[in-house]
Amino acid sequence: MALPPRLLLLNANQRLSPFRRAELTKVLRRASWAAARGIPQLERAHIIGVLHPQNRQRRDPANWYPSFKACVDGLVDQGILEDDDHTRVVGPDMRLGHVVEGARLVLHIRELPPVGARRDLQK
């Protein structure tokens, strides 16, 4: 699930007013909600969040956790996941992707079996 490019992202190192932080969180959450239309409901998921930067400058992808968290909340708002607690979501694991014009976040969502589901082992 790719979010639109050129969204203003939240970074853990930013010093924003609570109002500005809430404003950016709302925009990211809404963008994720819109991008998630059509994804079926999942009981559990592993989410990998990929930050595609706009240049080759060095980055720590984990610093964008507030942006990824807002996007996962958007999945919950859309009804893809019932909640984003530890029983339903593994991640988001943050990664750095290739350079794209305008920068963007992409969430790779992989369905996991329900907790307690029997797994058939292949030998």
pLDDT digits (tens, 9 = 90+) for 2-26: 999 999 999 999 999 999 999 999 9
pLDDT digits (tens, 9 = 90+) for 48-96: 999 999 999 999 999 999 999 999 999 999 999 999 999 999 999 999 9
pLDDT band at 43 (very low <50, low <70, confident <90, very high): very high
Q: What is the pLDDT of residue 120?
A: 54
Q: What is the pLDDT of residue 115?
A: 81
* Residue reference for tokens 């991008």: 35
The whole-angstrom separation of Cα 27 and Cα 45 is: 23
**With contact defined as beta carbons under 8 Å apart, do 71 and 105 qualify?**
yes
Q: What is the pLDDT of residue 118?
A: 57
Q: What is the pLDDT of residue 52?
A: 97
pTM of the full structure: 0.90
